[in-house]
Amino acid sequence: MSKPYIIGIAGGSGSGKTFFLNRFLDHFSKEEICLVSQDDYYIPVAHNMTPEENKLYNFDLPRTIDAEHFERDVLDLIAGKTILKKEYTFNNPNTIPKMLEIKPAPILIVEGLFIMHFKGIADLIDMKIFIEADGATALERRLKRDLLERGYSNEDVMYKWIHHVVPAYNEYLLPYKDGCHKVIINNTNTTANIVKITEEISAELRTTVFGN
């Protein structure tokens, strides 16, 4: 198999990356596209922490990611190899992690906070996409996600937002925005704009990758 076309999707917490990704994947079959997420490469620590330690621990730093394993798996997919990776479940003890089987495909999506910061990964990317939302919108989304899905209290979310999320965004994401091929502003909770954008990009890729 020839080298896949690699799309890198980055964006701050609450930017709407997950929704964008899900709508984007709708345009392709499983044989045409595969996805590897930085979130599954967090170095496991949360299960050993007290709630207070978890609150103070900064997950929004590149060193919390096993970047070497992440890059190795990306290179294996490029080489046409299937990878197996245990899902990372954050601090939710009620979630049983799945064993993810990711098979190579003509289009490979690499997504996460630090994919542009990890030079070994960034240098492999053919199309860099930056998803952006204003601070108020992003915080609202973060609050909703962490309260419902990850079991954090409102106080914990706000602490992490102020002390971890915003500083990390400014240091490890924002500097790479201007170097991206596409910057997508995602400030609304309506689906039409994002669906339209994913349709346009997928049509472009069908020409670039598949010659359709």
pLDDT tens, position by position, 36-60: 999 999 988 766 777 778 778 898 9
pLDDT at position 135: 93
Predicted confidence at residue 53, as pLDDT, reads: 80
> Whole domain around residue 189: which residue ranges?
5-208
Q: 178 with 128: CB under 8 angstroms? A: no
CA 22 from centroid of its chain's CA atoms: 11
Residue 120 reports pLDDT greater than 80: yes
Position 211 pLDDT exceeds 90: no
Q: What is the pLDDT of residue 91?
A: 60
Residue 96 confidence class, pLDDT cut points 50, 70, 90: confident
Q: Please tell me the predicted confidence (pLDDT) of residue 47.
A: 64
The confidence score (pLDDT) of residue 46 equals 63
Query: How many whole angstroms separate alpha carbon 106 and alpha carbon 211?
Result: 12
Q: 16-45: string of b/e by CB count within 10 Å (b at 16+)?
A: bbebbbebbbebbeeebbbbbbbbbbbeee
The confidence score (pLDDT) of residue 50 equals 76
Number of domains forming the structure of the chain: 1
Whether the pLDDT of residue 1 is over 70: the answer is no
* CATH number of the domain to which 147 belongs: 3.40.50.300
- Supply the pLDDT for residue 93: 60
Scan for tokens 């598949």, then name that residue.
Answer: 210
Residue with tokens 């046409």: 80
Instruction: Report the pLDDT averaged over residues 88-105.
Output: 82
Interval 138-190: pLDDT, tens:
999 998 888 776 667 888 889 999 999 999 999 999 999 999 999 999 998 77
